[in-house]
A and B are shown apart, each in its own frame.
Chain A
């Protein structure tokens, strides 16, 4: 809309006609206070805090419902307005418990801030406050009624934002109360958005409540370790006697690709890190067959010597490496470099949950064809094929819902299941589970392969009429099907694609060449191009074993050693444990997983919250991983790979280009405590290395990645500032003719599971258990 000019507190401002006054003021740096107003949610005009004076209007008006108009003259902080706000706060404080000293929100409470600003310091009432007992609504949500100021943000974010509608208002007048849908409990998706959005301490978190004060924590914005959406999460951490503990996950920094959103896993499922079963000492299998803890020096040396022996006796072909979906890009890059240059093998793979290689091949380096997660918040039309984002990609589901709600985006859903996002769809069709490929053919205009009807035909017509479309597909599409889908998409104008995979860095693992046939950036091992020179050693050019072949080889006795980093193929990929009985197995993990129990050497490793680096979500959004927590006894995968290489006789500089001439670690890897840096310093000094630049500095590797993998050569300043950068897919060169076995196995995770990690989250288990009991009781009652 056309711009209008108006005056606020004497300043001439300009904004598009129709802009809400409160937003226009904010954009100009004039903060108009509000409890109930929340950008993107429906307007309430209930708290009356944002009242302002408009010239020639008799009553004060709410800035949240006034739209700017040409020539409008506004005052936002006159004595009259301050008095109105003060009076409103006095009314709220009348029955507010004022238990700020013990309230979770104390220190980050909007009511406190407003009281501070408007100075409602005197109590006008002598009546006894109405106390109500706190209620537990779910394992993660508690409600403290007297603290509630009835701003209805929780009701709206749950209903409008989440499409869950689990919260409502009951009774009226002063008896009005926020009520959960289950009577005394919530039946919901447990996202905790209601807690996040609560301006006071009325809704509190089952993991965080009464644990600490906000100012006693450090707050680190990093990337969630769970699904492939890669939400930005802010971890509240605090020093404890064995390191730094995470005590809260939330979304206070709303600058991430997830906007306002965070799901149950991002918010609560950090607790695996504090699980009692966490390994903190290296374990080596003894002659009696039992695992015993040993010191790090011994464990690393032992593993390195065995790897060296195998390399010496049988060559790299007898060693396999399995990488992780949850380590950083730098770690995965380093791992493949270690495999290829130190172990001399292409036997490297990871648990694939999406066929990124095929997707990249199908795009053929076309520019600007890959959708960022951000694009889903503004695209005019979206075609969703397969997947159930509500369960598997909650942030994507949030973006889509928000886009449909606020921008009337048109969503088209084709799915074999009755997924929840159909509620937002302009059109939806049900197709057979094995019918996705033929449905794409049908969309392309081939009526012969898919039994269509009036509904599917109308669906097709609408989709094909779209002038700008995002096509997002799940793991139902692999290999050639992806190519056909991309081909169909490219026949329409302005199409972008997104390929949905699971886990925090599956995309990164593929991009970084944790694949038997592809180097970082999908460069074929058979034609290693610049990698051959850069790596400075004879790279194996034959494709190695994939995951299944490695286990087959082990069964045959052709795989003498297997190095598994942050992966649990036995439980998650259904690999046969007995295949490894004659294979020397090294596992790096947090827990004694189904795979780790088979190992000869186990290195207790750090998780994504305990390290620095970068991670790439399934949409190709690259983000900075910041170190938030620390656990005594564990080591990052990065450090372990370097030290293993060093013990095998490789100079760390050959793996990690640290030292003079490269950009240094500016402290990112150190996290909130100096402990790690000190530890590094000791190690560096002991090894006669320059203490200023560390061989464990992921940014030394990130330098190399940016240099060798052009798609990752994104502006670094923005990335380091904690913002996401979308990969440059046009810079990916790939051999499009290669055929590859379909090894994609989706994680099958829902909202409350998260692969192996999820098994170690007490909160997730508690939530699942509570749902089971509640369902049981409710069924019994019927």
Chain B
């Protein structure tokens, strides 16, 4: 069972019910549950959207698009039914925050989904969890059933005259399905290949209807925002980055775990104060700040605020909030290889640059790691990654290319140390690894 952690610097908004038994609907109600949705019903869509805009909440999946604005793009009138889709396909390596939300506060996801539905005029919501999260699906299924039993879901919710239904399901193992349009394809029973955009989901989404699709954390934040007011939520965070965020700090730290910190919180403090610093007193080598797709930061680059804009200025991205801390023992070539292996395995294969590019990167870095490369191979790896960047059908290609470029750029010396038959000077993790098929 995932261990809960705590630190005085945390501002517990979304995680305030964690560990308090809120999977029980009675307990959830006791902890202010289902109040926000009732407020939403009485005050109406315009109020909801204006609160959401005021909150400065930006998509917690990684792209950071302002949620209130996203909702406002959904046309008021639509011939086709509208839908709310909750993206719980949490698969970005280094990320496990939604895991905890499903585990400890499932009703917040339901309530947030309902509010999104009211805001855009949808009558149906889908909560899609990654296939590995079967035990969390069970928790969600029970929560949904309890909400139906209470009459919170179904016909005429809270006497509003509005119907709202929620269907929960899981995927079956595919990182790419975390991409919003691929998720819709998967939910429609197809291969998880993204769709051509435009049209964007807000106009043509699930089953061709206007669809709001949000990350679990985003959705679960919604009831809290309505309860505390958008303005109050915005104040917690930094400029243009409202509220708090669940940061999962993993890797070589003394106290790994998921911490809820205000947006803009200093990364160095997060590692050294909140997570207790580098494990075993070792030297910090690098930090992957927001899931495996975000470009790596060296030990010298971590004095930076954790929000979308500050991280962007630092040449990386806030991403999914998964902070992976690497000490001096890690071989960066091996780390780059494990990263690209993942993207190679998860590329949907639809477009040429991603399908072929991730594969050639994997092959090239494998050879380099094993000592079979020469000088120009390093440039070739970079050339490959740079030629994928911005050229692929969906962001997966970028997600593979960006960190690769970062590794080569910032740790070129380590790459060079592997050249000309020398192989890896570090203690291998992958010594007898087998290819993932």
Contacts and interface: CB of A to CB of B under 8 A. Distances in A.
Contacts of B266: none
Interface stretch (B86-94, B152-160, B269-277, B349-357): B349-357
B141 interface: no
Interface in A534-573: none
Residue with the greatest number of chain A CB neighbours at <10 A, chosen from B176, B344, B355, B392: B355
A173 interface: yes
A51 B392 CA distance: 10
Which residue, B347, B358, B391, B393, has most C-beta atoms of chain A within 10 A?
B391
A59 B356 contact: no
Nearest to B366: A127
Contact of B350 (A46, A51, A92, A125): A46
Given A45-B196, A172-B191, A127 B367 contact: yes
Contact of A84 (B196, B345, B351, B387): B387
B380 A173 contact: no
Given A43-B196, A172-B174, A149 B352 contact: yes
Contacts of B357: 91
Contacts of A174: 344, 347, 349, 355-356, 358-359
A271 to B, nearest CB: 37
A60 B351 CA distance: 15
Most buried by B among A45, A126, A150, A172: A172
Binding site of A, secondary structure by majority: helix, strand, loop or mixed?
A: loop
Interface string B161-201: 00000000000001010000000000000010000100000
B348 to A, nearest CB: 5
Contacts of B387: 83-84, 87-88
Interface string B331-348: 000000000000011111
Contact of A46 (B352, B358, B359, B384): B352
Contacts of A88: 352-353, 387, 391
Contacts of B367: 126-127
B364 interface: yes
A47 B346 contact: no
Nearest to B396: A173
Contacts of B356: 91-92, 94-95, 174
A125 B349 contact: no
Interface in B350-394: 350-353, 355-360, 363-364, 367, 380, 383-384, 387, 390-393
Interface string A77-111: 00000011001100110110000000000000000
A175 interface: yes
Interface residues of B, number: 31
Contacts of B352: 46-48, 88, 91-92, 149-150
Contacts of B390: 58-60
A91 B344 contact: no
A48 B391 contact: yes
B143 to A, nearest CB: 32
Interface in B20-44: none
A46 B394 CA distance: 10
Given A48-B393, A173-B345, A91 B191 contact: no
Nearest to A126: B367
A65 B196 contact: yes
B391 A150 contact: no
A289 B358 CA distance: 76
A48 B349 contact: no
A84 B390 CA distance: 10
A325 to B, nearest CB: 47
Contacts of A58: 390
Contact of B353 (A59, A91, A171): A91
B349 A91 contact: no
Contacts of B383: 87, 124
A125 to B, nearest CB: 6
A507 B355 CA distance: 52
Nearest to B357: A91
Contacts of A175: 349
Interface in A133-151: 149-150
A35 to B, nearest CB: 8
Nearest to B364: A125
A176 B176 CA distance: 14
Contact of B344 (A94, A169, A171, A173): A173
Given A91-B360, A174-B344, A124 B351 contact: no
Contacts of A124: 360, 380, 383-384
Contacts of A150: 349, 352, 355
Interface string A148-161: 01100000000000
Contacts of B363: 125, 127
Contacts of A48: 351-353, 391-393
B167 to A, nearest CB: 25
A169 to B, nearest CB: 7
B351 A45 contact: yes
B393 A45 contact: yes
Interface in A609-659: none
B349 A176 contact: yes
Interface string B209-241: 000000000000000000000000000000000
A83 B383 CA distance: 11
B389 to A, nearest CB: 9
Contacts of B176: 172
A48 B355 CA distance: 12
Interface string A163-195: 000000101111110000000000000000000
Nearest to B349: A176
Contacts of A43: 196
Contacts of A125: 360, 363-364
A172 B353 contact: no
A172 B351 contact: no
A171 B349 contact: yes
Nearest to B381: A124
A451 to B, nearest CB: 38
Contacts of B355: 150, 173-174, 176
Contacts of A51: 391
Interface in A412-433: none
A124 B373 CA distance: 12
B421 to A, nearest CB: 14
Interface in A693-723: none
A47 B196 CA distance: 13
A59 to B, nearest CB: 5
A171 B383 CA distance: 28
A46 B393 CA distance: 6
B348 A172 contact: yes
A62 B23 CA distance: 47
A87 B392 CA distance: 12
Given A48-B352, A87-B387, A88-B391, A172 B347 contact: yes
29 contacts: A45-B196, A46-B393, A48-B351, A48-B393, A60-B390, A65-B196, A87-B391, A88-B387, A94-B360, A95-B356, A124-B383, A125-B360, A125-B363, A125-B364, A150-B349, A169-B191, A169-B349, A172-B174, A172-B176, A172-B191, A172-B348, A173-B346, A173-B347, A173-B348, A173-B355, A173-B358, A173-B359, A174-B349, A174-B358
Closest 6 CB pairs of A and B: A176-B349, A87-B387, A91-B356, A174-B359, A173-B347, A173-B349
Given A125-B364, A174-B359, 16 more contacts: A45-B196, A46-B352, A84-B391, A87-B384, A87-B387, A87-B391, A88-B391, A91-B352, A91-B360, A94-B360, A150-B355, A173-B344, A173-B345, A173-B346, A175-B349, A176-B350
Interface of B: 174, 176, 191, 196, 344-353, 355-360, 363-364, 367, 380, 383-384, 387, 390-393
